[in-house]
Amino acid sequence: MTRRDRDTGKLSPPLVLPRWLVALVPLAACSETPPGAAAVDAGAFLPDVTYVALDVAVAGNPDVVSVKPDVAAAKLDSAAAPADVLAAPDLAPADSLAADATAAAADAAAAPADAAPTDVPAACTTTTCATAADCPESAYGTAVACQIAVCAAGCCKVAEAQEGGACADGDLCTVGEICSGGICVGAPKTCDDGNACTLDTCNPQTGACMGTAKVCASPSACQKGACDPKSGACGGETKPGFCFVQGACVSDGMAAPEDVCKYCNSLLDAGAWSAHAGNPCDDGNACTFSDKCTSEGICKGKGPPGCCTTDADCAPSSDPCKPNKCNVAAGLCAIMPKSGCCDAGACCDLASNSIAALGTPCGVTPVAIEYQCAGAAVQQRDVLPGCDGKGANGCSADPPVFGAWQTIKTCAGSSVCTPTASGAEPTCELTGIYGSCTGACGAKAKDGNCHCDASCTQMSDCCSDFVPLCGCVSGECCALTAQYPKPAGSSCTGVAAPSKYKCVTGQLWQQNAKPTCDGKNTCSAAPASLVWEDWIAQAPCAAGTTCKAADDGSIGKCLAPTCAGRCGTALAGVCLCSPFCLSFGLCCPDFIAAGCLGVTGCGGAKTCSGKCGGSGTGGCMCDADCELFGDCCPDKAVCGCG
C-alpha cells in the first residue's frame, strides 16, 4: 500500500510486507487470531480498504509481496502458515499498527488535492482490473464480433477490434466478413446455378444455395408453359399433334388458309407450315392439268408444248421494251410492252431502258460558263443542258445542270482574286502583304513585304507560301503556335536511337541515345543529332557467364565461359571459339587455354561453301547468328537458301 511520509508529506513506495504478515490481514470472513500470535485490530488499517495476499506464504519462505488497495479479493488459506511463523518477533503490535493507520489517514486528509496517490485508479463504473484477463467476457464484449474487452486505467472497458480484421457475423449467408467501425460486416453470398429459370437464394439455416423453379403460364390451348434456361424468358412448348403457326393452334393435317400446298405436320415442324407434297391443287393455268403440290409447297401442273407457266418458258424478245412474257391465266406466251421503256434518245438510260431523271446531264457542250473566287484561286464551272424527266428526248437548257467547280489559276504573291461586275473571269489584284518565301526562310521575303520567320504568325505578316516552303503545321518537331520548326537539338521520340555497351569489372553497362530535332521539322537519329544519356548498370551476369562487349560498343552480352571441346565454333550464340573472334572481342574467356588459337576450320580460306548453318572454314561463321556477332564468312550469301 502507498503511505505518506509524516515529515515531508510525500508519498512513499508501496509497503512491502512478508508473506507471513500478509496472512494475518483480516478479510470480511476471517476474524480468528492464529494460535500463538498477537491479536490484530482490523480497525487499525485504513478504512474501506481490503487487504489480500497475492500469494500464499509457505513455511520457511522469506519472499514478500506488495499489498495495494482496491485489488479484487483473492482466496487466502491462512492455515498454510505454521504457528511459529505467525508468532515471528518482527510482527508489529496492534496498537502500533493502529497508530500508523490513524496517522496516515490524518496525513491524507491534510494533503493537497494534487498530491493524491497516482497509482490508485479513478472510481470505476465497471469492474476494476489489472489486465484484460480480469474483465469478464460476457460483460465486456469479447463474445461480440468486432468488440473486445480491455483494461484501461484500472477499469474494464469495451473497445472496437482492429479495423479490417476477419470476424464472424453468425450469418451463414454472408462471406468475407471484416470488422468495420466495430461492426462485423459481410457481403451476401452469391448463389447462381447457371439456370435462368430458377430463383437462387441462400438458406439461412444451412448456408447452402437453393433454387426455386420459375413457373411459366401456358401461352395457348395447344402449348404448355416452358422457360428458356439461357434467357429465363417464358415461352410455349407445343403439345404433340399440334402446330402453333402465325399465332394460332392448328391440328395435324389441317391445311393452311388459302394454300392447299401447306399444312400442319408437327413431326416435321411444329412451329411453321410444312409442304404438302402430292396434294391436289390448281395452279391457275388453264393450259396445265394434273396439278399437284411440289416438295417446295408450290402448285404445279403438266402442260403440252407451247404451254407456259413462267416467263422462262417463253422465247426471248429482241426488243427490250416489248418482252415476251407468260400469260399464266391462259397458259400462253404473249408480247407485253413495258410502260416508260425506251431504247434511244439523249435522255434514255440504255442500261435500264428507262427515261433519265429530271436534271440528268444530256449534253457535253456547255450553254454557259460561270466563275467564282475561292481565296486566291480563280474557278469556273460549265452550265450544261439537262433532261426534263418526261421523255427520252427531253433534253434542254431548262432546267440547267451545273458541272463541278475547277481551279483554272491561282493569284500569286500578294495579289487576290477579284470578281468582275459582268460575271466574266475574275482578275488577280495586288493588295496588302505580298511576296514569296522562296530562298527567304527565316527572313523577310526578297520580292515583297511579307516575312518567313518564326514570328510572322504572331505579327500576321507571313508570306502566302510560308507554310509549304518554311513553316510546318504538324509533327513533334513543329512549334504549332508559330507554325515553324523547333530549333535543332530539341528533344523528340519519333525515331529509334542506338545504344552502346561496355563491361566494367565484369558487369555490363548500357548507354542509350536520344534523337533530337534537326531544325527542319524532322526527328533525327543521325550521329550529329544524338544526345547520349548517362551509363546505366545492367543486372550482374549470371553465375558461369562473363561480360563481353564489342570494341565499337555496338553489342554486349554475358557470355558462356568455356571453349573446351568446341574450338572453331560459336557457343549457343554468345561467344566464339574460332580465331576470327579476335577481330571482334567476342572470344570465350578460355579461348587460348582450350587450344583454339591454332584452329582454322577445314582450310585456310574463309568460305561458307558446304558449311551453311554452322562454322565455315578459316574461323568465320555461316549460321543465322553471324550477322549479330559480325563473324560471317565473306561469302555468307551462298547460304541464302541453305
Residue with cell 508473506: 19
Of 90, 115, 140, the residue at which a domain comes to its end is 115
Asked if the structure places residue 78 within a domain, the reply is: yes
Pairs from 452-458 (Cβ < 8 Å, separation ≥ 24)? 453/484, 454/479, 454/482, 454/484, 455/482, 457/481, 457/482, 457/483, 457/484, 458/482
Q: How many CB atoms lie within 10 A of CB 145?
A: 17
Dist CA 264 CA 281 (whole Å): 17
Domain count, the chain: 2
- Tell me which DSSP letter residue 390 carries: S
Dist CA 249 CA 253 (whole Å): 12
Q: How many CB atoms lie within 10 A of CB 198?
A: 18
pLDDT in tens, 579-634: 777 776 677 777 777 777 765 443 346 788 777 877 777 667 787 767 655 567 77
- Tell me which DSSP letter residue 217 carries: -
Residue numbers of the domain that contains 637: 557-642
Q: Residue 46: CA atoms inside 13 Å, Cβ hemisphere, count?
A: 18
Helix, coil or strand: residue 350: coil
Residue 384 forms beta bridges with which residues?
Answer: 401
Q: How far apart are the first and last CA of the chain?
A: 102
**Residues 566 and 593: beta-carbon distance below 8 Å:** no
**Residues 574 and 600: beta-carbon distance below 8 Å:** no
Per-block mean pLDDT, blocks of 10 residues, the chain (642 long):
42 39 35 40 35 33 33 31 36 39 41 39 74 74 72 86 84 90 89 87 90 86 86 86 91 91 93 93 84 91 80 87 86 87 89 88 86 92 89 85 91 83 85 84 86 88 88 88 88 90 89 91 90 90 79 79 75 69 73 69 62 74 67 76 41
Strand 523-524, strand 516-517: pairing: antiparallel
Name the burial class of residue 362, with classes exposed (0-12), middle (13-18) and buried (19+) by CB atoms within 10 angstroms of its CB.
buried
Asked if the structure places residue 182 within a domain, the reply is: no
Of 60, 92, 115, the residue at which a domain comes to its end is 115
Asked if the structure places residue 589 within a domain, the reply is: yes
**Residues 388 and 359: beta-carbon distance below 8 Å:** no
Asked if the structure places residue 100 within a domain, the reply is: yes
Closest CA to 260 of 294, 310, 226: 294
- Tell me which DSSP letter residue 529 carries: G
Dist CA 297 CA 448 (whole Å): 86
Q: Is the dihedral of CA 141, 147, 151, 154 positive or negative?
A: negative
Rg over alpha carbons for the chain, rounded to the nearest Å, is: 56
Closest CA to 195 of 206, 208, 205, 209: 209
Write the CB contacts of 309 (distance below 8 Å, at least 6 apart in sequence). 283, 285, 287, 288, 300, 301, 303, 326, 328, 331
Q: What angle do CA 338, 340, 341 make, to 5 degrees?
A: 60
Of 63, 93, 115, the residue at which a domain comes to its end is 115
Instruction: Quickly list H helices, 501-618.
Output: none
- pLDDT, residue 123, reads 65
Secondary structure of 99-152 in HEC code, one letter for each residue? HHHHHHHHHHHHCCHHHCCCCCCCCCCCCECCCHHHCCCCCCCCCCCCEEEEEE
Residue with cell 497509482: 119
Asked if the structure places residue 240 within a domain, the reply is: no
| Predicted TM-score of the model (pTM) | 0.26
- Tell me which DSSP letter residue 393 carries: T
**Residues 535 and 501: beta-carbon distance below 8 Å:** no
Cell of 102: 490513524
Asked if the structure places residue 388 within a domain, the reply is: no
Asked if the structure places residue 433 within a domain, the reply is: no
Name the burial class of residue 353, with classes exposed (0-12), middle (13-18) and buried (19+) by CB atoms within 10 angstroms of its CB.
middle
Backbone phi and psi for residue 590, each to the nearest 5 degrees, phi listed first: -100, 30
- pLDDT, residue 606, reads 73
Helix, coil or strand: residue 511: strand
The DSSP-derived string for 275-299 is E-TT-B---S-TT-EEEEE-TTS-E
Helix (H) or strand (E) holding 456: helix 456-459
Dist CA 404 CA 381 (whole Å): 6
Asked if the structure places residue 606 within a domain, the reply is: yes
Helix, coil or strand: residue 434: coil
Closest CA to 362 of 398, 406, 405, 320: 398
Dist CA 402 CA 633 (whole Å): 71
